[in-house]
Structure 1
Amino acid sequence: MKAIELLFTSDVGLMSLTVLAITLGMGGFYLRYFLKHVKDDTAAQARR
């Protein structure tokens, strides 16, 4: 319980949460981006 309290109340804990949120957001963005482009390239290749 002390670790969760420290995570949400200290400066270092809040910065850690911010970095985790940004990292997960970037991962989600790149996953969607790459999957969309793979799908588009596969469709373009099939049309040839």
Structure 2
Amino acid sequence: MAWKELFSTDVGILSLLTIGFVLVIGTYMYRFAKSHIAEDEKHSHG
């Protein structure tokens, strides 16, 4: 099945790493932006 190919071939492993990398970077950027937006709102309403 596709799962076996995903975990056993070079291309499958690279795909998993790429997907994982994108998810990690996306989560980091989302949290980074969210915290900075909250800080900006604190400073601008002062």
Which TM-score band (shorter chain)?
A: over 0.9
Q: Secondary structure at the match of 1:30?
A: helix
1:11-47 deviation line (CA, Å, top 9, x unaligned): 0000000000000000000000000000000000111
Aligned length: 46
Identity of aligned residues (%): 28
d(CA) in 2 for partners of 1:6, 1:32: 33
CA RMSD of the aligned region, Å?
0.4
Is structure 2 residue 39 aligned with structure 1 residue 40? Answer: yes
- Which runs of 5 or more structure 2 residues have no equivalent in the other structure? none
TM-score, normalisation: structure 1: 0.93
- Which runs of 5 or more structure 1 residues have no equivalent in the other structure? none
What is the Cα deviation at residue 3 of structure 1? 0.2
Runs of at least 4 residues of structure 1 off by over 3 A? none
- 2:14 maps to 15
